[in-house]
Amino acid sequence: MALDRFGRNIHYLRISLTDHCNLRCIYCMPEDQTFRPNASLLQDGEILLLARLFASLGFDKIRLTGGEPTVRANIVEIVRGIASTPGIRSLSMTTNGVMLKRLAQPLKDAGLQRVNVSIDTLDPEKFRRLTRWGKIDDVWNGILAAEEVGLVPVKLNAVVVKGYNEDDVIDLAALTIDRPWQMRYIEMMPFAGVTDIQTQQIVTASQIQQKIESEFGPLEATGKYDGEARIFRIHGGKGELGFISSVTVPFCSACTRARLTADGVLRMCLLREKEIDLLTPLRAGATLEDLRALILEAVWNKPWGHGLDEGVIPLNRAMNQIGG
């Protein structure tokens, strides 16, 4: 078990497989974002070695993210390798869904259990505007493919941005009336790259909830949390709504996460700049014991929480370079 100095059991690792992406969401990165050369990213064998190492320290839950994880070469083989790592009991992926129509079945066969698909609006034109060039049909077909092959329960993520999609939260919520899906609304967080939009166009979770309630009436609180999301239902709905209020009501005290970026650094808080390089020592010949010690020390020193309240914004990376 990997404990931090506050007694939190850190057992959930998000691995970013690449900083590259086939979209350019306006809340994530600038249009002219440059990406790291592949040689500076963790190679397949390095990912699997680190996954085994983390699993040996009690990490039992892994989510693959990016950038866009499905644009990573050998994604199916990487999933197969991680899924068969002893100790890993939960393996999921956050994806923009564009490639899922083709990849859902092979990923499921390789051992992926679930996907969270990002979809911020159902309106094709607004979707294009938010992602700079995405086609909503690709994502929709990806979601249906994921459900069909059993990557369930289907969970959808929407980042809500003032002036772009704040009214679309209603149509997205309506998806949960007839479908057993979980629609999750995420408060936009600030990083490098597009900090102005992220700080000036945020819509809070409570504003999102009010907007949804203005259409469907009071939501039913389930009293449940799913990870960081507070879970509600529309009365009579088959699915669920989740609100992720990382900015206005942080869940730091219950955080059990660590993040491994695509270039091999460990980030113990999404919203703090501090990072611990694992790739350089790994390539320099560090032993597994050396790496284990580095990870345990990083876990022990995991920050208590973020500093957005005090105006501390992490500016050393854009979101796609960390992994959401």
Binding mask 38-77 for ligand SF4 (x = CB under 6 A): ----------------------------xxx---------
Residue 189 binds which entry of ligand SAM, ligand SF4, none, with Cβ cut-offs from 5 to 8 Å by kind? ligand SAM
Chain residue at closest Cβ approach to ligand SAM: 324
Read off the tokens for 171.
């149509």
Minimal distance in Å, beta carbon 157 to ligand SF4? 9
Residue 24 binds which entry of ligand SF4, ligand SAM, none, with Cβ cut-offs from 5 to 8 Å by kind? ligand SF4
Read off the tokens for 252.
């730091």
DSSP assignment letter at 275: -
Binding mask 82-121 for ligand SF4 (x = CB under 6 A): --------------x---------------------x---
DSSP assignment letter at 254: G
For residues 150-178, one letter each, b for 16 or more C-beta atoms within 10 angstroms of the residue's C-beta and e for the rest, the string is ebeebbbbbbbbeebbbebbeebbbbbee
The DSSP H or E segment spanning 115 is strand 114-118
Query: Would you count residue 324 as binding ligand SAM (CB under 6 A)?
Result: yes
In this structure, what is the dihedral angle of CA atoms 59, 63, 67, 68, given to the nearest 10 degrees? 150
> C-alpha angle 324/177/165, rounded to 5°?
45
Minimal distance in Å, beta carbon 324 to ligand SF4? 7
**Rounded to the nearest 5°, which phi and psi values hold at 101?**
-55, -45
Among 53, 59, 65, 228, binds ligand SAM (CB under 6 A): 65
169 contacts 158 by C-beta, under 8 angstroms? yes
The most distant pair of C-alpha atoms in the chain lies apart, rounded to whole Å, by 60
Query: Would you count residue 189 as binding ligand SAM (CB under 6 A)?
Result: yes
> C-alpha angle 156/82/277, rounded to 5°?
90
Among 28, 99, 219, 234, binds ligand SAM (CB under 6 A): 28
Residue 29 binds which entry of ligand SF4, ligand SAM, none, with Cβ cut-offs from 5 to 8 Å by kind? ligand SF4
DSSP assignment letter at 42: P
Minimal distance in Å, beta carbon 226 to ligand SAM? 14
Minimal distance in Å, beta carbon 162 to ligand SAM? 13
Minimal distance in Å, beta carbon 178 to ligand SAM? 23
DSSP assignment letter at 181: -
Q: Considering only residues 116-175, where is the footprint of ligand SAM by CB under 6 A?
A: 118, 157, 159
35 contacts 22 by C-beta, under 8 angstroms? no
Q: Which is nearer to ligand SAM, 231 or 322 (CB)?
A: 322
Query: Would you count residue 95 as binding ligand SAM (CB under 6 A)?
Result: yes
Read off the tokens for 323.
């992994």
Query: Would you count residue 321 as binding ligand SF4 (CB under 6 A)?
Result: no
Minimal distance in Å, beta carbon 117 to ligand SAM? 7
Quickly list H helices, 264-322. 279-283, 288-300
Query: Would you count residue 27 as binding ligand SAM (CB under 6 A)?
Result: yes
Which of 214, 220, 213, 189 lies closest to 203, judged by CA?
Answer: 189
List contacts with ligand SAM (CB under 6 A): 21, 27-28, 65-66, 68, 94-96, 118, 157, 159, 186, 188-189, 198, 319-320, 324
List contacts with ligand SF4 (CB under 6 A): 21, 23-25, 28-29, 66-68, 96, 118, 319-320
